[in-house]
Structure 1
Amino acid sequence: MRLLRSTDLALRILMRLAVTADATPATRQVAADMDVPYTHAAKVVAELQHLGLVDARRGRGGGLALTAKGRTASVGAVVRTFEGEGDVVDCEGTAGMAPCPLNSACRLRGALRRAQEAFYAALDPITIDELVAEPTGVLLLGISRGPAAG
């Protein structure tokens, strides 16, 4: 299974903010630290803010901060939210593709759905704070260019 780029970035942003509790980096800074386009990071930050995982303030003295909910967020829940509902494979056919001829009697779709849920279930008990435990937290601080890297 492959995660969407936005899912990967959401997790990395949450991890980055979890280790910089004493600083509030701007979205541009986080995007630069993660080596991703600002516009992509801004969309992800907006969704994280909507979910209550990140506090984002504009202007002087503003920046991004991880909320208490963000610290204890389940990695599985974050991944589910960013990946969205849907099957691993497109059996119905889209973008000029015909529906799968096995669609009415296929066992693969159910097996893949169960595997997908097992993947999420394995991530459910893990929190963002657990992801940044040593030695990861030190490495995250090393890639930060903001005040917390000092």
Structure 2
Amino acid sequence: MKISSRGEYALRALIVLGQSYPHLYAISELSQKTLVTENYLEKILLQIKGLGYVESKRGHQGGYQLALHPRDIVVGDVIRKLEGPLAPMGCASVTAYEPCELEGSCMLKPLWVLIREVIAFVLEQTTLEDLITGNLKKPGSFHSISGDVALT
């Protein structure tokens, strides 16, 4: 999994909007705070608006604001909707599975699945509010339990 600049900038915008939820931000103000050009940021905001994370208001006092409370926005959902599957390889993907040439005998697949599970677990446990408050869950270690990843 690789997060594109679009995904990173969308998260930056969501963080800024969430820091003073439900404040309305003009595109120019958001651009300054996220360090993303207005044109590119507007395209990103339209996309995340279509996903239901952002609302916009037109006019002189218009701008963008979160459509949901920051605690209700799960980072894993945002990333999946913007970037696609979390798996590093298609053979480890839950949502976009692609068989590989060595299907059934590949010794790397368990590693790719574990990486996907750990990434998914962390992103699914992290809300926008967690990012804003710095309250990220930091696993000390992880281990496999019946094929499921448990972070402790």
**Structure 2-normalised TM-score?**
0.68
Tell me how far 1:38 sits from its aligned partner. Answer: 1.9
Task: Give the Cα–Cα distance (whole angstroms) in 1 for the partners of residues 108 and 40 of structure 2.
Answer: 34
Q: Does the Cα contact within 8 Å between 1:55 and 1:64 map onto a contact in 2?
A: yes
Seen in structure 2, the aligned counterparts of structure 1 residues 70 and 133 have a Cα distance that, compared at 3 Å, is closer
**How many pairs are equivalent?**
124
1:72 maps to 72
Which residue is equivalent to 2:101? 104
CA distance in 2, matches of 1:78, 1:33: 20
Match of 1:56 in 2: 56
For normalisation by structure 1, the TM-score amounts to: 0.68
TM-aligned CA distance change 1:22 to 1:50, over 3 Å: closer
Instruction: Extract unaligned runs of 5+ from structure 2.
Output: 92-99, 136-152
Q: Deviations over 1:4-52 (max 9, x none)?
A: 1111111111110011236311223212221112222112111211111
Provide the rounded CA distance (Å) in 1 between the counterparts of 2:10 and 2:73: 12
- Structure with more strand by fraction: 2
Question: Which 4+ runs in 1 deviate beyond 3 A?
Answer: none
C-alpha distance after superposition, 1:56-113 (max 9, x if no partner)? 122211101112255411111111111113752579xxxxxxxxxxx41144355324
Q: Secondary structure in 2 aligned to 1:56?
A: strand
Structure 1, gaps ≥5 residues long: 92-102, 136-150
**Separation in 2 of the partners of 1:129 and 1:86?**
21
Identical aligned residues as a percent: 25
SS of 2:12's equivalent in the other structure is helix
Whether the 8 Å contact between 1:74 and 1:127 is mirrored in structure 2 is: yes
Could you tell me whether the CA contact under 8 Å between 1:53 and 1:69 is conserved in 2?
Answer: no
Counterpart of 2:138 in structure 1 is none
Matched residue, 2:123: 123
Question: Alignment RMSD, CA only?
Answer: 2.6
